[in-house]
Amino acid sequence: MRAMLCTAYGPPDSLVLRDVPRAPLGEHDVRIGVHAAGVNFPDLLIIQGLYQFKPEPPFAPGGEVAGEVLETGPAVTDFVPGDRVIGMTRWNGYAEEAVAPAHRCIAIPASADMRVAAGLALTYGTSYHALVQRASLQPGETLLVHGAAGGIGTAAIDIGQCLGARIVATGGNDQKLQAVAAHYGVEHVINYNTEPNWKDRVRALTHGRGADVICDPVGGDVFEKSLRCINWEGRLLVVGFTSGTIPSARANLILLKGCSVVGVFWGAYADRDPEGNRANLQRLFRWLDEGRLRPLIARTLPLAEAAVGLEMLARREVVGKVILTTDRYEGGHA
Ligand SMILES: NC(=O)c1ccc[n+]([C@@H]2O[C@H](COP(=O)([O-])OP(=O)(O)OC[C@H]3O[C@@H](n4cnc5c(N)ncnc54)[C@H](OP(=O)(O)O)[C@@H]3O)[C@@H](O)[C@H]2O)c1
C-alpha cells in the first residue's frame, strides 16, 4: 500500500509517495481501507518536528481518516469488515490503509460522504469538546470565534450555531471572512488585521458586556486583546497558536473580568475519556445526518498531492478544510 511519507523532518514538498509494508495489527486495532483523510494544521507541524508528538521518520502525517474496515484484531467486538468508520490515527493517515485502536474509531452514517466524515474528528471533535465540556456554552450566549475561516474556526461556528449561540467571527482576510459569513450566515465578521481595535467592536456588539465564550486557535495579540472584550464570568478557550506566538495572560485582567482562561487539549481528552469523546463524535454525526451541520470543504486533492494541501494551510488560503482522497473514494476531486 502507498503512503505520503515524511522521510526526514522538513517542509510539505519533502513528502514522498512510497510503497510501504502494511502496519502490524494489534489485538484491539482496526485496519481501515482509507477513502479520505483530513489535512490539519498539526500535520504541518509534525512533519517539521515542531509538534508535541515527534514520531521517528519515516512516517506519514495524518490524524484522521474515513474508510471501510478491512480487518480487526481478535479483541475487537464493535466493528466488522465492511463497516464505514472514521479512525483517529494521530499520524500515518495520509495512506491507502491506516490502523487505529477500536476506541478511536466511530461508525459513520450511510448518508455521510467519506470526505466530510474524514474531516470531522480533529476540528469538530476539538471545537465540540471546547464549547461543550470546557466552556459549557449556553443558548443565547455570544461566542467570539477567532481564526474563523480555519478548520477549528468553521467547526466552532457550526457547532456554536447548533447550540444556539450568537456568533461574532474574526479573521485576517476579508475574502475568507465573506466566504464564512455567506456559508454559515454569520452577521458580524471582523478583520483583526485591518481593524486593530476590534475589541471595541466586540464590546459594542455585546452592549458593552463582551463575549461570553471566546474560541482562540490563533494566540499572540489576538489572545491578549480577547481578555479586554470578555464578559464577566466569560470563558476564554486556549486552543492553539497559529500566529506562532504563545501569549501570556495578565492575571489582573482575569481578576477584574471574573473570567476563566480554559485550556483545551482534545487529544489528551480523547485518551483520558474515550467514551466521552466517542459520545461527542456520535452526536456530531447525528447532527450531520439531520442536516444541522454544514462542514466546509475548501479543496479535495488526491493523496499524492498532500503537499499542495499543506502549503495552502501554511499560506492561510484555506476556508474550512482540505481533504485528501485515495482511489477507493468514489466521488471526484474538486
Ligand atoms: N487544542 C487542541 O486540542 C487542538 C486540536 C486541533 C488543532 N489545534 C490547533 O488549533 C490551531 C488551528 O488549527 P486549524 O485546524 O483551525 O488551522 P487552520 O485551518 O490552518 O486555521 C488557522 C487559522 O489561523 C489563522 N492564522 C493567524 N495567524 C496565522 C499564521 N501566522 N499562520 C497560519 N494561520 C494563521 C488563519 O486565519 P487568518 O488567515 O484569517 O488570520 C487560519 O484560518 C492549530 O494551532 C492547531 O495545532 C489544537
* Predicted local distance difference test score (pLDDT) of residue 322: 98
Same-domain pairing of 304 and 260 = no
Whole-model pTM: value is: 0.96
- Using CA atoms, how far residue 47 sits from 39, 171, 223, in Å, is 12, 26, 26
Q: Using one digit for the tens of pLDDT, what is the confidence trace for 76-114?
A: 999 999 999 999 999 999 999 999 999 999 999 999 999
Contacts of 161 (CB under 8 A, 6+ apart): 167, 184
Name, in order, each residue with C-beta under 8 angstroms of 56's C-beta and a sequence gap of 6 or more.
none
CATH number at residue 48: 3.90.180.10
**Do 107 and 135 fall into the same domain?**
no
| CA 79–ligand 1 middle distance (angstroms) | 33
Minimal-distance CA residue to ligand 1 atom 29: 243
Tell me which residue range forms the domain holding 153.
Answer: 124-267
Q: How far is CA 286 from the centre of its chain?
A: 18
Same domain, 146 and 182: yes
Give tens-digit pLDDT for 163-210. Answer: 999 999 999 999 999 999 999 999 999 999 999 999 999 999 999 999
pLDDT tens for each residue of 276-334: 999 999 999 999 999 999 999 999 999 999 999 999 999 999 999 999 999 999 875 54
Q: What is the structure's pLDDT at 332?
A: 57
Are residues 252 and 132 part of one domain?
yes
Q: Has residue 272 been placed in a domain?
A: no
Mean pLDDT, rounded, for 210-231: 98
Question: In the chain, how long is the greatest CA-to-CA distance?
Answer: 60
Are residues 36 and 167 part of one domain?
no
Nearest-CA residue for ligand 1 atom 45 is 240
Residues with CB under 6 A from ligand 1: 40-42, 122-123, 126, 147, 149-153, 171-173, 176, 217-218, 239-244, 264-267, 313, 316, 318
Interatomic CA distance for residues 257 and 193, integer angstroms? 25
State the residue for C-alpha cell 465492511.
82
Closest residue to atom 43 of ligand 1, CA basis: 150
Q: Is residue 247 located within the same domain as residue 164?
A: yes
Residues 249 and 158 placed together within one structural domain of the fold: yes
244 in any annotated domain: yes
Q: What is the pLDDT of residue 330?
A: 85
Percent of the chain at pLDDT > 90 equals 98
Same domain for 116 and 132: no
210 domain-assigned: yes
